[in-house]
Amino acid sequence: RGFDHEVCGIAEIGKVLSTLRAKGCETVSFIGNVKRPDFSSLKPDLKGVSLLPKIISAARRGDDALLNSIIAIFESEGFKVIGAHELLDGLTQPAGVLNSVAVSDFEKADIQEAYRIAGAIGDLDIGQGAVVCGGLVLAVEAQEGTDEMLRRIARLPVEIRGTEDERKGALLKRPKPMQDKRVDMPTIGPSTVSKAAEAGLKVIAAVEHSALWVEVEKLKSLADAVGISLVSLRENGDWP
């Protein structure tokens, strides 16, 4: 709020474009969480009216199609779209164990299985995350998001998941195989660590330079305190 800004309705596409041009903007970056709107309740401007049918059609094909259609609008209007991680240093991480909590071979197997499952649901444009414990798939992420998925795990019987006293299992987040990494990169923040801790998990993993690790030093401190390993796999899913 301390910066010059303009508030636009989500379907006021003409206002968005004219505001960017009036401010001399040439580059656009998308950051933050946006829930799917109720398209029938939107109040588009004239430009939005002309584009909304195409956007709604794309939305029916999945999140990737929806986001790609929005990127295409800005690019067709002459703007360059770049990822937030290209603007801010330290948002992505190289391959490696990022904090001081060691990972056992047992947990590595869960990470690899979660990587495989997340890839499978990504192929179907369902979600980006999966949780595996002892080889058993506890949850996959859909429209509810990571935090809600972790809340579901915390309600599962302790016989099939870890606890705060005996942590087990891994959360793995990765981009969908055909995803444009300029938008909707998998994100891991302090709330991810807190919810994973409540769910009894031992590992939070992602892929090198393919996830946004928000407030990474705080993440490491939180994870160390609760006994959760933070892991960044190689791009092909191999152990770092």
Q: What is the pLDDT of residue 178?
A: 81
User: Is the C-alpha dihedral spanning 64, 70, 72, 75 positive or negative?
Assistant: negative
How many other C-beta atoms are found inside a 10 Å radius of the C-beta of residue 151? 14
pLDDT tens for 137-147 read: 999 999 888 99
| Reported pTM | 0.88
User: Mean pLDDT, to the nearest integer, of 180-184?
Assistant: 89
pLDDT > 90: what percent of the chain? Answer: 76
DSSP string for 17-44: HHHHHHTT--EE---S--PPP-GGG---
Q: Using pLDDT thresholds of 50, 70 and 90, give the confidence band for residue 184.
A: confident
User: Is the C-alpha dihedral spanning 114, 119, 122, 126 positive or negative?
Assistant: negative
pLDDT tens for 208-237 read: 999 999 999 999 999 999 999 999 999 999
Contacts of 76 (CB under 8 A, 6+ apart): none
pLDDT tens for 2-58 read: 888 999 988 999 999 999 999 999 999 988 777 777 888 889 999 999 998 999 898
Give CA separation, 67 vs 61, 142, 233, in Å.
Answer: 11, 16, 26
